[in-house]
Structures are given as structure tokens and as C-alpha cells.
Amino acid sequence: MSVAIPFIAFLLAGGFAAYHRLRLAVWAAMTVTMLVACWLLGANVAATLIAAFMVAIIAVPLLLPQIRRPYITAPLLKFYRRILPPLSQTERIALESGSVGFEGELFSGKPDWNALLSQPRAVLAAEEQAFLDGPCEELCRMINDWEITHVHADLTPELWDFVKRNKFFGLIIPKEYGGLGFSALAHHKVIQKISSISTVVSTTVGVPNSLGPGELLMHYGTQEQKDYYLPRLADGREVPCFALTGPFAGSDATSIPDYGIVCQGEWNGARVVGVRLTFDKRYITLAPVATIIGLAFRMYDPDGLIGDVKDIGITLALLPRDTDGVEIGRRHFPLNSPFQNGPVRGDDVFIPLSQLIGGEDFAGQGWAMLNECLSVGRSITLPSTASGGAKMGAVVSGAYARIRKQFGLSIGRFERVEEALARVAGTADAISALAQATAMAVDRGEKPAVPSAIAKYHCTTMGRELVSDVMDVHGGKGIILGPNNYLGRSWQASPIGITVEGANIMTRSLLIFGQGAILCHPWVLKEMRAAQNPDAQAGLEDFDRNLFGHMGFAISNAVRSFWYGLTAAKIGKAPGDDYTQRFYRKLDRYSANLALMADTSMLLLGGKLKFKESLSGRLGDVLSQLYIASAMLKRYQDEGCPEGDQPLLAWAFHDGVHKMELALSGALRNFPIRPVGWVLWALIFPWGRRAQAPSDRLGHRAASLLMTPCDARERMSDGVFLTPCANNPAGRIDSYLPKVILADPVERKFLKALKNSDIETLDFVSQLDEGVKEGWITNEERAQLEELRAITLDAISVDDFDVHQLRAASYYDQQRPNAAREAA
């Protein structure tokens, strides 16, 4: 036994140092001290000397830079440069356009939770809250989504006038240019509220405040462009669109075939140097009504009129709608969601260089400009739209499930319905936390490239899953379109968010992990830059520092993964209260797992990892779930750790942990180098995969919150339009919930007495008459039951139509003359 003791001490010291990320010199000193203690306590001398020799072999060359750099680092740098996958200019720009926030901590294997919890709380300014309570509330009251989607296929003139007059198109434009100058949080709240009643209107408001001329001009426009266009965009005199996607360039936006040739031409009666454009764009939101078109194209200067570079690169320009050669095509019709969308084409369109966004100085910088702005715009519009729909779907489904009865029971009491309600509750909680977190990242001045991809992908994907459950709960109520239907259009439109701003099927692997693995990793980007440093000595020194920092980082994450796996993450320091500390420890574990898997994958697969989309997609899922769970815990902390929210937090958290383990399991079982996968499995899952989906008991608690008036339900409904009015059947149903609950015992008492009586009448009014006569209920209780019947009927009612009401108006108008002739 005395022979093994020095080696056990060696391993324990190494494990302790790696877990706590102590410096190499500290590890060496600590190990030597332990070996001396072993010798003094009678351990085998030969074994002690062998262990000490192992320490020396590791420590001496690594601690002495004059040995380490020429004999270890330099050969490794040479090998690294050989295997380093080449970065295209497009990829380089994408990496340099984003910033790193707390998501970088999640790649560290040891997140600094204080950095998250110390971030400012989500609080609106007084004027922002007043706008939500005033113009935004009024706009929602004006919206009749059935008329928009079925009758007009557009906003009514009154709605167009209202959104322009109240500067809904100028939410993000600074006040000095006539805009509202709102924060990203306020922008998120406005879109969230509008989308809870109409995604057509929220899209119409969201696009001018997202990626497009307004945001691009604010960041890159010349002073002359800002002074002219921003006030006109803010008050709606100009309606913008941005034309990027074309028939041959969708997700691969850098391959756009649209081009512009630098030449001389006529503009406003003068001969000037400009660009002659040819382009063909489609799927362009607001294009049919746009007065100013933002355009992405590839710019060429074959005659050298503005410089020596022939292929200048992707460039952005502003085209007034009435520019000669510009053709606004007919409308697209995206899944019965008639927001303005259509193609834009141009042939032989001449514009001066002054119409380039930012002027001639920004020619060729369009891809960088788009990436920087897209990371901001993508953080808000689609996540906020999903959040508004999810929160509305959750609270109204809970109310409907309590009101609607079958077999004498509220349908929410049936376990299968309860399962769906639990998923809706937990998913809505996660979506809303994620959408708010990315908006707050923008307000902190970040350019959240990776979080925006996470938010866009997961909010829209979870939103599509949620609306499926909501439809299942509502049954026939959800599928019959008409003024009483508040779900059908959301169901139809759910794939739209999946597709736009980067198709989700690509976003998951290429952006979330592909970009995150380099941008968020604490060492990889530094190593790449060091390897490409033209100063050989400086590059060697930088690479040396980062390489050995990376090695220690990787060893630490292997040790931490194994330790957390052995202990099921039940031991360790963590922030939070008694309820949430276990959640933080679990996230520490999966953060270490992610870092270990990412390092191993990049080391062994190198450039091939780019093409292992299933692997990178699964690792992206782990990063995403870590970020979503962090957002939920941050919001829970900021709201004062409300006990009533614990079932929602727990359901969403356990669902996320289960998904993380499924993703890790899938990545390990399918790892391209099988023996490596087996070793990693032993480190990450020493006892096997243990996480389970949320339990039925937890699901029952989460579902019950949606069907019962309580503080947690109030927080879920915060920020959506629930005012009960003629054009908001969902709001009416939500308002009925307290009355239904109060009437429940009266109804049970009445039905029990009726069942035990000899009364044979089936007429409800006659039954109530008999109930009062027999003394089963009082007159006040009778009125209560009559109101219950009325509100139940309103909640479950669906629409029907005459044939002519369902025909397209254009078709019907064409047929009427024929019908008149036949009648004659």
C-alpha cells in the first residue's frame, strides 16, 4: 500500500489543481509538498522518487520558457498552422462583427455567475411604459386580425395612419432625428404586445426597427443621409424595406449575383459617377408598400473610376421607389399571413455614389455592416414575436381548459391535456426569458451574434411546438377560422419565423456552434490570431501563452466533468437561494461538458468539424440550453425569487437539462472517432445518462398555475394584450377565469341536486327555475349560473359563413357579371 500512496498523492494534487485551475507552479509546489509528506510518513522511497521525477519531467520544461518555446511551442505552432482550417473573408467578417457577453462564460467550463446576476435588471423608462400603456394599447384595441388576414389582406388605412402618426416605425431612431429613441427592452416589449393579437401588425412594425435602412443609417450613414432620411423614416413619410435575399442566394447571402458597375450617368440633371445596378430579390418584407429600398449587391469598378480594386465587394445602397428601372413586383402570400411581402427587381438602374449607405467610404463593407446590424435586429423582432404569442397562448389555454368541460370535468383536469398545458407553461416561460435576455444584451451595448442566433432559433422553434400544444388543448375551437378564432393564423404562420433571417436548419449548426465555438471560446480565437501574426516572434510568444492556457483549460474541464459526473453535481459552491443552488451546480457541470466536447472535437476533427453538422448541431443545443437556463435564472433572481414561479422554472429547467443530456449522448454515441467517444462518455457520464424529463407531478403543478388566478399567472400574462373587447376573444376568455372559478361550487351543487331529482326537462332556463323553486340555489346563484352559461358559450363559440363570404373578393367580383347574365 505504501507503494501506491505517492502516486495517489500525485493524482489527487493534479485533480485538485485542475479542478480549481491553479497555476502550474502552484501544482508543482503542492505536489512536491505532498510527496515529501508521504516520504516522512513512511511511504515507499522508490515510489516517492518516481512520482517526484514525473513532476519534474512535466514542470521543468513547461515552467522554463527558454526550453518550452523553442522545443515544444515552435513545433506545435508549425503543426497548428498546417491543420488550421482557412477562414474565408466572409467567415472572418462574421467572427469580427460580434461581441461576446455571458455566453462566453458558458464556454469556460466554470461560469462566473456573479457576472450574470450583477447585470442590470430589465426596467422600462417612464416614457417607454407610458407608450406601452397609451399608443400601443390603443393600437391593439384597433386591431381586428380577422379583417386584416381575411377581408383586407392588409392593415386598414386607419391602422397604417395610426402606426405612422405615433412613430411606431421610429422606435429605435434617436430623438434628435424625430424618433422615439427607445431602448432595446422597450422595442422588445412593444413587439411582444402587438404580436399577442396580430403577427401581421407586429411584423409591419418590427421590420422598420430591425435590419434595414433605419438601423444601417444610424450606424453607418453619412450626416447628410441621416439628416434627410431618419426623420422621414421616424414619422412614416418613408416606409423602408431591405432587399437581401434572391432566387439564387438565400441563407448563403454572400453569394448574391446582384451586381453594380461603377460608371458615369445622369442623376437629377447632372452627370455624376455612380453605380448601374441589376438585381432580382424576393421575400422582401414591406416591399410592396416601401418608398425607400435598401439594397445589397456586389460592386465592381472595371474602369478604375474610384480606385484600383476591381471587385469591391458587397455594398449597400438606398433606392427611392420611383428610381428609373426599379420594379416592385406583385405580392407574395406567406401562409395566409398577409404582411406586405414581395419581390423587387431592377435592370439598368443608375444611382450616384451618394446613395451608397455611408457613401463611397463604405463601399465593399456591406457584409460587415449587415452582420453587425443583424446581430442586433435578430435579437428582438422574431424572439419578441414568439414571446408575445407564447405568453398569450399559455394564459388563454389555461383559462380555456378551465372553462371548457367534457364528461362533467374541466378538460384541464384530464392528464393528457394537463401534459400539454405543462409543456405550454414551461416553454412559454423559457421563450419569454430568452427573448428578454437578448434584448437586454443589446441594451448593454453588445453585438450578440451568438445569443441572437440562439434566440432566433429556439424562440421560433419552441414557438412552433407550443402552438401545436395550444391547438391540441383548444380542439375544434382552434381550427375553425373566423372572428372568434385567435389561434389559426398563428398556427399557419409558425413556419415563417423558422425560415426567415437565416433558416433554422442552418442556424443551429453553422451559427450557434460554428460561430460560438470560435467567438465564445476563451482560447481558440486568440490561438488563431497568434498563428496568423506576421511578426514571427510576437506570434510565437502569443501562441505559447494561449496554447498552454488552453491545455490547462482542457485538462481542467476533463477533471471537472468527471467530478461532476461522479457526484451528480451535488457538491460545490454555487450562488442563488436554497431552491436554485442545485440548478447552478448542474449548469456548471454541463458547461464543463460542453467545453470538453468542443475542445476534443476541434482538436481531432479540425477543419472537418465544419462539415459535421449533426455533431456541431448537438453541441450547439447544449450551448443554447445553457444560455436559456441562465436567462431564466437571471429573471427569477431579478423578480425577487418568487416562490409561485418555482414550478414553471423547475419544469423548464429540467426540460432543458434533459435536452442537454440527450444532445451530449447523441454527440458521444456518434462521435466520428469511436474510441475517443468511449473515453469521453466515461468522463461525462461515469454513471450513465441520469437526467429525466419533467415529472408528471411537476407538470401538474405547472399546468395548475395556468388554470388558477395567481401571481405566477399574472407575471406570465404581463406584457401581452389581454384587454377584453369585441376584437379580442382571447382577452375575453382570460377575463372569464375568476368568474368561472367562483361559479364552480354553485354549478356542482346545482348539478348534483338536479341529478338526484325527478325533473325531466332538458331546457336550461327551466332547470334553473326548478332549482330556485326547490331551494337548491338562490336567485343570486341563479344569476351566477346564467352568467356562467353565457361566458362559456362565448368561450367555445366558433364561426360560420355564407358561401360568398369565403370566396376571394377578386373571384367573386369577376363572377357576379356572369351570374347576372345567366339570371337574365
C-alpha cell at 280: 432580382
H-helix or E-strand spanning residue 670: none
Burial of 247 (0-12, 13-18, 19+ CB in 10 A): exposed
Phi, psi of 501 (to 5 degrees): 55, 40
CA–CA gap between residue 102 and residue 440 (Å, rounded): 12
Beta strands in 129-251 (DSSP E): 240-243
C-alpha cell at 435: 427573448
Residues acting as catalytic residues: 501
H-helix or E-strand spanning residue 296: strand 292-300
In single-letter form, the type of residue at position 693 comes to A
CA–CA gap between residue 652 and residue 636 (Å, rounded): 12
- pLDDT, residue 819, reads 45
CA–CA gap between residue 478 and residue 390 (Å, rounded): 15
391, 428 in Cβ contact below 8 A? Answer: yes
In single-letter form, the type of residue at position 399 comes to A
Rg (CA), the chain: 31
- Concatenated DSSP letters for 438-481? HHHHHHTT---HHHHHHHHHHHHHHHHHHHHHHHHHHTHHHHS-
- pLDDT, residue 393, reads 97
Helix (H, G, I), strand (E, B) or coil at 124: coil
Q: Is the pTM of this model over 0.85?
A: yes
Q: Which of 707, 562, 733 is nearest to 647 (CA)?
A: 707
CA–CA gap between residue 42 and residue 23 (Å, rounded): 29
CA–CA gap between residue 197 and residue 195 (Å, rounded): 5
C-alpha cell at 143: 386591431
- pLDDT, residue 88, reads 63
In degrees to the nearest 10, what's the CA dihedral of 346, 350, 355, 359? 120
CA–CA gap between residue 652 and residue 635 (Å, rounded): 13
Helix (H, G, I), strand (E, B) or coil at 260: strand
- pLDDT, residue 824, reads 39
Q: Which of 701, 699, 720 is nearest to 710 (CA)?
A: 701
CA–CA gap between residue 374 and residue 215 (Å, rounded): 10
Q: How many CA atoms lie within 13 A of 791 on its CB side?
A: 24
Q: Which residues pair with 341 in a beta bridge?
A: 285
Q: Which of 291, 304, 493, 460 is nearest to 382 (CA)?
A: 460
316, 369 in Cβ contact below 8 A? Answer: yes
C-alpha cell at 178: 424625430
CA–CA gap between residue 23 and residue 563 (Å, rounded): 20
- Distance set, CA 506 to CA 384, 515, 579, 620, 702 (Å): 21, 12, 37, 11, 33
Q: Which of 346, 349, 327 is nearest to 274 (CA)?
A: 349
- pLDDT, residue 703, reads 97
CA–CA gap between residue 172 and residue 188 (Å, rounded): 11
Residues in the chain: 824
Q: Which of 730, 775, 726, 769 is nearest to 749 (CA)?
A: 775
pLDDT block averages, 10 residues each, the chain of length 824: 80 88 88 86 84 86 87 87 70 71 92 95 96 97 95 95 97 96 96 97 94 90 96 96 89 83 92 95 95 96 92 95 94 94 95 95 90 82 96 97 93 95 97 96 91 94 96 95 95 92 83 82 84 87 88 91 93 89 96 94 81 90 96 96 96 97 96 94 94 96 96 96 95 96 93 86 86 90 94 95 81 52 42
Helix (H, G, I), strand (E, B) or coil at 783: helix
Q: Which of 789, 795, 709 is nearest to 747 (CA)?
A: 789
| Residue 711 C-alpha from the chain's centroid | 26
CA–CA gap between residue 533 and residue 540 (Å, rounded): 9
Helix (H, G, I), strand (E, B) or coil at 286: coil
C-alpha cell at 412: 384541464
